[in-house]
Structure 1
Amino acid sequence: MSNTMQIRLITLFVVLWILLWVSTFNMHHRIDFNGQPSVEDAAAQKVRQEVEARLTHLADKLEAAEADLESLIVDAMQQRNEQSANLRGPTLELAKDVDGSNGVDDDGRKARQSVSGPVKEVPLTIAVEEHTTSSPAQKTGGHQSRGLHAGHPILDLDDDAFFETPVNELMSQYGGIQGGGSCENDFGNGLIDRWRATGQTYCAPRSPSGSSIKCYLVKQTRHHGTGDQLCLASNVLLDTRDFTDSGITNKVMADYKNTKHMDEAYIHYRKGTLQGNCDLDSSKWKKEHFPGWNNDWRSAFESVADDNLQCDVWEDQPTLLLQRDTFANFFHNSEDFVNTFIALAVLKWSKKDLQLILADLYPMGPFWDLWGKVFKGLRPPLTAWDLKEKYGGKKVCYRNLAIGILGAASPVTVASWQTPCKHTPLVRAYADYVVRGLELVQEPALWTSKTVTVTWMARRASSMWPERRFCDSEHSFFRCEDWQHLNMRPLGRMVRNDQEVVKALRTLEDVEWPNGVKVVFRDVDFNVLSFEEQIQIDVTTDVMVGPHGAGLMHNIFMPDRAVLLELHIDGSGANMHFHNLAKWQGRTYMTSTMKNPIPTNQITSLVSQAIRNVAA
């Protein structure tokens, strides 16, 4: 790069920094953390409007500067490539960070969102990365990672390392969280350390070989209640008779059916279902410390006087027991998947010897591969039906039985507001853990391919109600005869001109894109695919576009360069879950509120913008 070019870049950075600093200074002195006036007086609204106008003006300047800077970078890269085509060295990469402010309104005009926090996201970041064909092997739990997937060490693990390395050690290799504030303690390795540090004895052993219960109660940012719980019980007894009692299980299923699925498929266990010879701390053993179904296990526990538990069977492997929030909604199922990942990290467990127990009465469902492959070690997970079949009402004692985290306590659900956090270890490590567990790791060359794959996440009423579709009279409590009245499941937020949108987006394949980019368009209905097929689509998608809905959880499995375009139709858009997930993963996020039917010129314009971001 010439000296003149360097001077221009440095000067531009200084100007941008001063503009951003001045705006941020004014805003931080006049607006509180939530973007509301810090003094509720007559002038507060005027002050906020002044700051918003200042930020909008700043954003306009930054957009113009971004275009200039991108042009400078491209020129510099071309010069350097001409001078040293055969040399390896650092390259400048324009980081992509496009939010709703780059959307388009219903009339086709450029739309800009109002400020919702103390600092408007500035879509301009320069990242300098060393691009090499290989990197030194990374040590992981005594094994070596090949280091082919930069920033994704889990993807490079051999089978032994993936099975044997404790999850906390895997996650610890994912650093670089951005956003400041509480981001590290809410979505980084700090969350795991903080959760583990809360451990206290809730039931004290009476002897070295006696029972004990240690619980980890953490208070997450902005979460209601007294905290979210994870407990580890040692040398305790599980009486499995509640699972063999048809009177109990039939009532649970009847209530689930009669309330139209409002009652969850959970047993309310009899006292003594869980037993231990330890002394409870009454100051801690309280209902308010055990949210949701955690409290069912609290009330089921009985401290017995016997020094020796009356066990029919002893199980030595570490066991994690949980109850799923549901079984056929990918977003809410992901609460349990992420919580399982967190629990293993807090407990410093690997999956090698892990025994999972899903104590709810739900059937396996469409996402079983995640339990049966990703979290499976040497033993397959056990459902409540499996407990009935395997133990037949016996009293089973466990050396280490963890009671898992309530699904609704998952960080991916708790944070429904727009967080400033980006590139979070929790989401990045979890996503890689899933992809590696399903053995769907892609070659790194795909991440820089000239082919940009656009996936339309179709939202169609194309499948039966999951209760009927996944019923199993032979191996579950969901008897098929109970669900014959259910037919095709209706969905909200379906695009009324779905096929017109598909036709319009397909024309992007015929556009001549810069830099030799070729666009491939896919119209995909995830309802008709297996879970592995769904993730295979994710890892080969560069632009994911679709209406707000649970399926957009899939965006966390896409390559780093990918873009999520979320469409808010029919009044959706109250929460920021998918905005956050995209940012936590470290990818570009775009959004637009649209009419339904969707204007095809509007959506093709937005998708074109997303393609250009990938191709930049």
Structure 2
Amino acid sequence: MLIIFFLSFLFFVFGDTYNWSELDIPIEHAIYFFTNNPSIHNQCLMDKDKCPYYEQAKNLPSSDIACWGYEPNCKNNASLIQCSGDSRGWTTTKEKQINEFWRTADFGYIAEKRNELREFCSSSLECVDHLRFCRAKNIYIDFRHIETSKHHDRYREDILKYGDIGGNCKLNRNDLIKNGDHKSPLQSWFSELQVFIEINDTNLFNCDLYITKPTIFIKLDSGYNMYHHFCDFINLYITQHMNNTFTKDIQIILWDTSKNDYWSFFSHTWNAFTSNRLIHIKEFEGKRVCFQNVIFSFLARMFYGFYYNMPLIPGCTQTSLFRSFQQYIIHRLRIPQLGPLKSNQIRITLLNRTTQFRQILNANEIIQHLRNISMNENNDYLINVVDYNINMPFIEQLNITHNTDIFMGMHGAGLTHLLFLPDWATIFEIHNCEDRDCYLDLARLRGVKYFTWENDAKVYPQDEGKHPTLGTPHKKFTNYAFDKYEFARIVRKMVKYVKEHPAYRSAKRMKYSTMNSIPTLQVEQRDTKTSKDEF
């Protein structure tokens, strides 16, 4: 019998010293973390010289203020939400509108899911409704018959047979089976857990491997598409909050039932969640594995989940959850914010697609027109034209995006970069190709101002566009030219918005009250229309 032990502890305390490097949270999040982890708060106070969050620990506000919003006594919920628009019949009062946005799109979602948690197998398995999230202790999973080496299907739902997963507990099978109404690969864990059994003696687990490191199972959406893959990452972040576990010393296991290797252009993002390599379940083929602590993560396409399949109440914007996700990723991937610029210039980035469809046919004319306006007025625009293709590393892309005040691009997954814009930024979906809500809703969740084309008479499609397989007319499958004067008018609106944004003014005040130098972004440009000196 092969036995592999992964040395780990839930809170990573070595002797009397906490391993602060494995925590690595944004400084803004420290007070919330300490409220939810009082023993680590005390450790920080005792570890003054080593704890990087000592000042936050020393000045910790009361627990009803220093909280995310899902804690039972928290008074800080819905603190960022703005609902200036009409709910269009979703609710009858403004208070109900704000609460509905918080409940479904902010930390209120986690509060609701925490209330749903209940035991399905005593002391061993607990889940939320529909088995969309579960956590288990001291269970085994039998991977001896999964046959990943024979298949390309990533989402097989029959790889575990009755008894291939179980624990030493008393199982409520009737309740478990009743929660199979959301059975689907990316919507619940019912397919895997419906065959769970109870075993009276842990000696009967007969495992080949023993994994004691805290583990998260996750089933992934498309790793090739930023919009869909970041559904995975936001749900992993929500899972961390659900379990109050933010250390990077965890094991993430990809529940992929194929023999294919995982590859994604966005794979560097995993470094924000774990300091360990990803494991594919095919590595367990032929083995029976015991897990000491394991979580079955929230998934990317759940009904009413984040953010695919998410009906979003109209009229509201700006969630604490998505803002904290941005801060978390930017911090852990070490992406600096080098603005606002002292010169008062607004950093404008045009994402210029070089794909077959949705190209801007007169992009050069528009950019030259904007530069002429800038030269003739206050030199307000610092314009960068980029092609976020596979030749530009994702970290480099994030550096550019996070140091952008106005981000512009045609409808497409690249607009998911709006998640990492600074708080004062705007997103300009130049043409939404009749998919009106996709990036509008994502911008509302993140809390950045959304703009799109306003005058259909001043946009010029190359042709009617045809769906490549159906052959029917489709706005996404053609290219467009735009009236440069109308384009400039919208840019002026965005520049005005950014300069008047309280967060922009505050950041500029704080940055230059102690600094006199003008920051520059040192980025090697690849496949762009401008040089790094221009940027």
TM-score (normalizing by structure 1)? 0.58
Total equivalences in the alignment: 394
Aligned to 1:407: 300
Superposition deviation, residue 392 in structure 1: 6.1
Matched, 1:330 2:226: yes
Superposition deviation, residue 185 in structure 1: 1.1
Q: Which of 104, 111, 117 is 1:199 aligned to? A: 117
Q: Please identify the structure whose Cα radius of gyration is greater.
A: 1
Q: Is the 8 A contact 1:196 1:347 kept in 2?
A: no
Which segments of 5 or more consecutive residues in structure 1 lack a partner in the other structure?
Answer: 1-134, 144-157, 206-211, 218-226, 257-263, 462-489
Larger displacement relative to structure 2 (578-587 or 421-430): 578-587
Aligned CA distance change for structure 1 residues 230 and 142 (closer, same or farther; 3 Å): closer
Superposition deviation, residue 284 in structure 1: 2.4
- Structure 1 distance, partners of 2:30, 2:298, is 31
- Structure 2 distance, partners of 1:323, 1:450, is 45
Superposition deviation, residue 136 in structure 1: 11
Aligned to 2:279: 382
SS at match of 1:196: helix
Whichever residue aligns with residue 385 of structure 2, its letter is: D
Q: Is the 8 A contact 1:422 1:586 kept in 2?
A: yes
Aligned to 1:610: 494
The CA deviation string for residues 32-68 of structure 1, in whole angstroms up to 9 with x for no partner, is xxxxxxxxxxxxxxxxxxxxxxxxxxxxxxxxxxxxx
The CA deviation string for residues 86-135 of structure 1, in whole angstroms up to 9 with x for no partner, is xxxxxxxxxxxxxxxxxxxxxxxxxxxxxxxxxxxxxxxxxxxxxxxxx9
Matched, 1:451 2:339: no
Q: Which of 378, 383, 391 is 1:521 aligned to? A: 383
- Structure 2 distance, partners of 1:567, 1:178, is 24
SS at match of 2:291: strand
Whichever residue aligns with residue 273 of structure 2, its letter is: F
Aligned to 1:68: none
Quick check: which one's helix share is greater?
A: 1
SS at match of 1:568: coil
Q: Is the 8 A contact 1:268 1:296 kept in 2?
A: yes
For 1:106-255, what aligned pairs fall within 5 Å after superposition? 139=31, 141=33, 171=68, 175-179=79-83, 180-204=98-122, 212-217=124-129, 229-242=132-145, 245=147, 248-251=148-151, 253=152
- Structure 1 distance, partners of 2:359, 2:446, is 27
Aligned CA distance change for structure 1 residues 456 and 136 (closer, same or farther; 3 Å): closer
Aligned CA distance change for structure 1 residues 228 and 242 (closer, same or farther; 3 Å): same
Q: Is the 8 A contact 2:431 2:453 kept in 1?
A: yes
Aligned to 2:172: 281
Which segments of 5 or more consecutive residues in structure 2 lack a partner in the other structure?
Answer: 1-26, 36-49, 58-65, 70-75, 84-97, 461-479, 501-535
For 1:350-389, what aligned pairs fall within 5 Å after superposition? 350-360=246-256, 361=258, 363-371=262-270, 373-377=271-275, 379-384=276-281, 388=283
Aligned to 1:493: 358
Superposition deviation, residue 602 in structure 1: 1.9
Superposition deviation, residue 159 in structure 1: 9.0
Superposition deviation, residue 330 in structure 1: 0.6
Aligned CA distance change for structure 1 residues 375 and 554 (closer, same or farther; 3 Å): same
- Structure 2 distance, partners of 1:414, 1:447, is 38
Q: Which of 555, 558, 573 is 2:435 aligned to? A: 573
Aligned to 2:9: none
Aligned to 1:132: none
Aligned CA distance change for structure 1 residues 558 and 549 (closer, same or farther; 3 Å): same
Whichever residue aligns with residue 407 of structure 2, its letter is: M
Aligned CA distance change for structure 1 residues 268 and 511 (closer, same or farther; 3 Å): farther
Matched, 1:442 2:306: no
Aligned to 1:339: 235
Matched, 1:512 2:377: yes
Whichever residue aligns with residue 352 of structure 2, its letter is: A
Q: Is the 8 A contact 2:362 2:481 kept in 1?
A: yes
TM-score (normalizing by structure 2)? 0.66
Superposition deviation, residue 318 in structure 1: 1.6
Q: Is the 8 A contact 1:171 1:429 kept in 2?
A: no
Aligned CA distance change for structure 1 residues 268 and 535 (closer, same or farther; 3 Å): farther
Whichever residue aligns with residue 233 of structure 1, its letter is: A
Aligned to 1:50: none
